[in-house]
Amino acid sequence: MAKIQMKTPLVELDGDEMTRILWQMIKEELILPFIELKAEYYDLGLPKRDETDDQVTVDAANAIRRYGVGVKCATITPNPARVKEYGLKEMYKSPNGTLRAMLDGTVFRAPILVKGIEPCVRNWKKPITIARHAYGDVYKNAEIRVPGPGEARLVFTAADGTVTEEKIFDFEDAGVIQGIYNLDSSIRSFARSCFAYALDVKEDLWFATKDTISKTYDRAFKEIFETVYEEEYKDRFEEAGITYFYTLIDDAVARIMKCDGGLVWACKNYDGDVFSDMLSSAFGSLAMMTSVLVSPDGCFEYEAAHGTVQRHYYKHLAGESTSTNSVATIFAWSGAIRKRGELDELPEMIRFADCLEKATLETIESGTMTGDLARITTLSDVHQVDSLGFIRAVREKLEELL
């Protein structure tokens, strides 16, 4: 069989530890035998980040902006223990944080559904994708511990000296105060990313805040979403046969539990933090989750939602067999290959991505799976395999499908 030819290169961002090992296996077994891979390679492994003073991460982000599609392996975010372990020059920032800031993106996470791994919520038949705003709110707050009686005021001094003030509370006793903020520009690009993503996957978009209570702060979110929708997306949504639905956050939560899925749920920062963990655990596992960073101008970076699986890596280094789940990393590759195929109008690449995902799911549905899934599956005839064994089983199915 002739290999599939590409037009534009993919930006490939290599990573760390066990996922770096899986990365190599996936490329060798599932990508290179079938595609004449054109990739611009950036090594985001910690040693290379250290060697380049993290310039490699910046270069990779710029390459994604240039080419439009990247695929990223999980990477270590250094903490003091990692600085020591790798003898780092400094405690570099999270590569995902750097990429997110440079691409001004929103992260979309969706569960990968497969027979035999059943969601705890019976009526969830289709995936629910969470889009989390990743700027401001309680994550960038200012807080004061109030020691005793006194008056708390909210004060804004404009650059020209004009002062706006509002009383918060007359304290008669000890308590706490919190100040939070957000930016119209950030909310607007979050809204655009969500509308663009919903259009891309042709699913309804839900958004919710508590604007009945927070009449200025949350209302700003509601209104910016509404304006962006009316001015930029309404026609395209109608054309695609999808809807934009706004409601209160408590109503959204109640409806999520009753729906059958197949929608994108845009969440404010804190809501997204809480509800993405709820969804991923209710759907099964972080290793069965796709994750893509989408910039408002339409750049896509695909990755796995989980980390570098450090504990498995140390087992691997000690020469022991590992049974690490590569599904999320395989889907990062298939997502990037499909998107590249769509942008370059190469149906062969799109078909390959579809087959790769189908082969992965069918492998699990036939009972061949890694340990994490074997522990929770409802299938009775289970064949637990090691990391490479799973990828080879997927390759067999893939060859049949192609």
- The alpha carbon of 291 is separated from its chain's Cα centroid by a whole number of angstroms, namely 3
DSSP type of residue 93: P
In the three-class reduction of DSSP (H, G, I as helix; E, B as strand; rest coil), residue 384 is classed as: strand
Structure tokens, 325 = 């789940």
Single residue of 84, 311, 375, 383 touching ligand NAP by CB under 6 A = 311
Per the CB < 8 A criterion, the answer to whether 109 and 290 are in contact is: yes
Give the HSE-up count for residue 92: Cα atoms under 13 Å, Cβ half-sphere: 28
Interacting stretch for ligand NAP, rule CB under 6 A, among 159-167, 234-242, 253-261, 306-314? 306-314
* Cβ atoms of 117 and 284 closer than 8 Å: yes
- How far apart CA 250 and CA 210 sit, in angstroms, is 8
Question: Considering beta carbons, is residue 284 or 341 the nearer one to Mg ion?
Answer: 284
Residue number with CB closer to Mg ion (171 or 270): 270
Token pair 């290599």: residue:
14
For ligand NAP, the binding residue among 71, 76, 263, 364 (CB under 6 A) is 76
Exactly one of 49, 133, 192, 306 binds ligand NAP (CB under 6 A); that residue is 306
Is there binding between residue 75 and ligand NAP (CB under 6 A)? yes
Pattern 273-292, binding to Mg ion, x per CB under 5 A? x-------------------
CA atoms within 13 A on the CB side of 350: 8
Strand pairing partners for 131? 108, 266
> Rounded CA gap, 274 and 351, in Å?
35
Q: Say whether residue 203 binds ligand NAP (CB under 6 A).
A: no
Segment contacting ligand NAP (CB under 6 A): 49-57, 72-80, 333-341, 349-357? 72-80
User: Among the candidate windows 83-91, 274-282, 307-315, 338-346, which touches ligand NAP by CB under 6 A?
Assistant: 307-315
330 binds, among ligand NAP, Mg ion, none (CB under 5 to 8 A by kind): none
Stretches 55-63, 181-189, 268-276, 300-308: which one binds ligand NAP (CB under 6 A)?
300-308
Question: How many angstroms separate the CA atoms of 293 and 107, rounded?
Answer: 4
What percent of the chain is helix, strand and coil (3-state, nearest 5)?
A: 45, 20, 30
**Which of positions 319-358 make contact with ligand NAP (CB under 6 A)?**
324-325
CB of 287 to ligand NAP, least distance (A): 4
Helix axes 17-26, 310-317, angle to 10 degrees: 70
Q: How many CB atoms lie within 10 A of CB 79?
A: 10
Residue of the chain from 9, 175, 262, 307 that contacts ligand NAP (CB under 6 A): 307
Which secondary structure element, helix H or strand E, spans residue 369, and what is its range? Answer: strand 368-369
Binding residue (CB under 6 A) for ligand NAP from 64, 130, 264, 309: 309
Candidate segments 178-186, 204-212, 304-312, 345-353, binder of ligand NAP by CB under 6 A: 304-312
Give the contact letters, 227-266, x = binds to ligand NAP (CB under 6 A), - = no. Answer: ----------------------------------------
Nearest approach, Cβ of 273 to Mg ion (angstroms)?
4
- Residues of this chain that interact with Mg ion (CB under 5 A) are 273
